[in-house]
């Protein structure tokens, strides 16, 4: 019975990822679809594995005996994803520790770290309290108005704690790279993140200035680590860049979030826990 639970969870996760379509319009609808299809499958697999570990390797469920095989799969899976999480956390910690060796300065009213490099670079680096890293090249190239536009965009990432949340989403991406449409959904989440940051920034700076800054900075990408780095130049492919420019030059709109009812779908991933009382 435990093996059946594993196969059902795998089949449902695969089916949900296959159902992804890019035809959905509107930021709210796209965000809701992307986050549910991205998060639900790995969450279902993790909860299923946890339920099997809680039930153990002996006993029966609905008259069908349990065994070591399915139990070992669950334990191995949890150990594997835990190891990936630890690896990403260590890499992120080392990355942040390196950034904190850079000299400090104030840019746009925010304490920043100065990267001594000629490239155009500005990004939040870290987790819940990220560091703003600004390159010498950016400070020398951009005038004060365009620099303020870049800083406003990065402030939006700080406001939404994008580096923290995308660390965990990046972990889910790593453990489900073998599922269909993982990379497509990841790119969709990245562009939605940037569209949200762009729109937030336009409350304080001219959208045209931000669009011009984007075109300048996007030509010098470096130090990209999408799990714990959020920057103006993220999602650089031409089609995504055009989408962001068009959104900036369009009439401003309000980015509304899905209602709490939309998130109830994620609660279905916890259904495997309901099988625990039926195990004896």
Stated pTM of the model: 0.86
Q: Is residue 177 part of a domain?
A: yes
Helix axes 144-159, 182-201, angle to 10 degrees: 120
State the total domains in the chain: 1
More confident residue, 147 or 225: 147
Q: Is residue 258 part of a domain?
A: no
Q: Is residue 154 part of a domain?
A: yes
pLDDT at 178: 93
Residue 83: HSE in the Cβ half-sphere, 13 Å Cα cutoff: 6
Contact 73, 6 (CB under 8 A): yes
The pLDDT confidence band at residue 11, using thresholds 50, 70 and 90, is: very high
Domain span including residue 221? 2-16+27-253+265-278
Q: Is residue 164 part of a domain?
A: yes
Beta bridge partners, 113, equal 104, 133
pLDDT at 234: 63
pLDDT at 224: 53
How distant, in Å, are the alpha carbons of 48, 137, 149, 212, 232 from that of 143?
Answer: 54, 12, 10, 12, 17
Q: Is residue 22 part of a domain?
A: no
Counts for the chain of helices (H) and strands (E), in that order: 10, 7
pLDDT tens for residues 87-145?
A: 999 988 988 898 889 998 888 778 889 988 887 888 888 888 888 999 888 888 888 89
pLDDT at 175: 94
Q: Is residue 45 part of a domain?
A: yes
Q: Of the ranges 2-11, 82-91, 190-199, which one carries the lowest mean pLDDT score?
A: 2-11
pLDDT tens for residues 244-263?
A: 888 888 766 656 666 666 67
In terms of Cβ atoms closer than 10 Å to its own Cβ (0-12, 13-18, 19+), residue 136 is middle
Q: In whole angstroms, give the CA distance from residue 252 to residue 212.
A: 17
Long-range CB pairs of 104-107 (<8 Å, 24+ gap) are 105/134, 107/132, 107/134, 107/139, 107/147, 107/151
Average pLDDT score, the chain: 83
Residue 85 has pLDDT above 90, yes or no: yes
Q: In whole angstroms, give the CA distance from residue 247 to residue 235.
A: 14
CA angle, corner 200, sides to 199 and 201, nearest 5?
90
Contacts (Cβ under 8 Å, ≥6 apart) of 62: 1, 278
How distant, in Å, are the alpha carbons of 33, 221, 234 from that of 117?
Answer: 39, 12, 19
Write out the two tokens for 82. 């835990």
């Amino acid at each position: 019975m435990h093996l059946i639970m594993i196969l059902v969870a795998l089949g449902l996760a695969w089916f949900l990822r296959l159902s992804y379509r890019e035809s959905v319009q509107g930021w709210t609808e796209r965000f809701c679809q992307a986050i549910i299809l991205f998060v639900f499958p790995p969450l279902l697999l993790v909860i299923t594995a946890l339920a099997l570990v809680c039930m153990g390797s002996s006993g029966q469920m609905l008259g069908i005996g349990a065994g070591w095989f399915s139990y070992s799969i669950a334990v191995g899976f949890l150990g594997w994803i835990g190891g990936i999480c630890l690896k990403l956390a260590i890499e992120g910690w080392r990355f942040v520790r390196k950034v904190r060796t850079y000299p400090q300065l104030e840019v746009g009213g925010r304490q920043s770290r100065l990267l001594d490099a000629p490239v155009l670079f500005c990004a939040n680096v870290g987790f819940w309290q990220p560091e703003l890293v600004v390159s010498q090249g950016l400070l020398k190239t951009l005038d004060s108005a365009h620099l303020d536009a870049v800083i406003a965009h990065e402030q939006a990432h700080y406001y939404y704690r994008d580096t923290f949340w995308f660390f965990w989403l990046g972990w889910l991406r790593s453990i489900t790279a073998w599922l269909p449409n993982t990379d497509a959904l990841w790119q969709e989440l990245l562009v939605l993140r940037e569209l949200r940051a762009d729109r937030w920034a336009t409350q304080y700076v001219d959208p045209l200035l931000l669009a011009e800054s984007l075109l300048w900075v996007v030509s010098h990408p470096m130090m990209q680590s999408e799990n714990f780095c959020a920057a103006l130049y993220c999602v650089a492919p031409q089609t995504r860049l055009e989408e962001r420019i068009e959104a900036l030059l369009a009439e401003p709109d309000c980015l509304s979030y899905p209602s709490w009812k939309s998130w109830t779908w994620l609660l279905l991933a916890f259904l495997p826990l309901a099988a625990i009382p039926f195990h004896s």
